Amino acid sequence: MSEKNHIIRRGNALVAPLEVTMKCFAAVPRGAEEVTARELETLGANGVQIAKGGVAFECGREGLYRANLWLRTASRILVQLASFPCTNQGELYNGMYAIDWASLIKPEMTLAVDCSLRDSALTHSGFVALKTKDAIVDRIRSECGSRPSVNTAAPDVRINVHLLKNVCTVSLDSSGDSLDRRGYRLERNEAPLRETLAATIVALTGWDGSIQLCDPMCGSGTIPIEAGLLASRKPPGFGRAFGFQHWLDFDGLLWDRIVREAEAGIRNLPVGLITGYDQDSRALALAGRNAAAAGFEGQIHFFHAELEKFQPEGEKGIVIINPPYGKRLGEEDDLKELYCRIGDIMKQRCRGWTGYVLTGNLELAKYIGLKASRRFVLFNGPIECRLLRYELY
């Protein structure tokens, strides 16, 4: 891929080849935008700006590699190629065809197109994706004599098309699989908490590994494991593959150096720093296997215990609880007692600690019987939730 530091106009399209300074967008679960912005600033990204559903920023190739490796709360990172007006299929095809796809994709490679639309004349995402694919393969065939094939499951290059108010933005997906796919979750239990949301929760608590962290309803262990990644200084993307590794301009030497630097900074967790508890023995067994897959065998400790038996050790720490929300008919009444118990346990056994409860049901949260000192709005998939902070004096 070329490294030009300017914008090229082709017809109505403003085309920005992958360049020394790239315009990027980190797609983020709703509610995590400010956390991701702070992560990007820590990584040295420039021009960080919070937007709806993500964070825009600028960086070079090294910054792009580091962002994919280190971002804990983002879902994927897109690198903008072009932006052009688009009110009909002709403008869509011509704008896509104007991009120098042959410098990005060779005929022997595979591609896939993802599309999202909002408030635009073109209203069918499948049609937009199909016309995009047609323009790309036609342009490559015209220059190379043959065309790439489509592989929606595991493409070499994934193209993202975002059509908003008749402006089409075309990007390359540098992440490949979603960044929440860390690789340690061996199975998915009934109601898994996405890794990126778990990392966001840990970040919002301000926990830095200097005091204990407990999860009394840990399930398959996602919150303790994400806390472990943070405290051990282990990048969440360690050991997995990324989309940019298939790109024509992939710098393997640079990537190897970045990974080696990250690996050198990893440290073991202190004994007893992070613990998880659950009454479901199957979930606990899965949590142990997940923690081992993440590199924390013997470092994160899980205990089989009902919530009533939970008793944290130490004078201070962070306790994070993600109870059921009761979204199914009849479940809410059954859960009132659980939320009462959560409040009683935090009041009676967690004095000196700080408690956090993530819930998608504010009516049930009232039964905790404590006044939240702060409320963070987060989304668990489509469910609007609150992360409630309790000072347990």
User: How much is the pLDDT for 83?
Assistant: 96
User: How much is the pLDDT for 187?
Assistant: 76
User: How much is the pLDDT for 221?
Assistant: 95
Residue ranges of the domains in the chain?
8-173, 195-232+268-391
pTM across the whole model: 0.91
User: In degrees rounded to 5, what are phi and psi of residue 10?
Assistant: -125, 105
Sequence letter at residue 233: R
Establish whether domains 8-173 and 195-232+268-391 are of one fold.
no
Domain 195-232+268-391 is found in CATH 3.40.50.150: yes
User: How much is the pLDDT for 348?
Assistant: 92
User: How much is the pLDDT for 152?
Assistant: 92
- Which CATH class for the 8-173 domain? alpha beta
Query: What's the CA gap between 384 and 218, in Å, rounded?
Result: 21
Return the closest-CA partner of residue 302 out of 319, 290, 286, 288: 288
CA 234 from centroid of its chain's CA atoms: 16
Kindly give the parts of the chain with pLDDT less than 50: 1-19, 329
User: How much is the pLDDT for 16?
Assistant: 43
User: How much is the pLDDT for 12?
Assistant: 43
Query: What's the CA gap between 363 and 119, in Å, rounded?
Result: 34
User: How much is the pLDDT for 188?
Assistant: 62
User: How much is the pLDDT for 285?
Assistant: 94
Q: Name beta bridge partners: 150.
A: 111
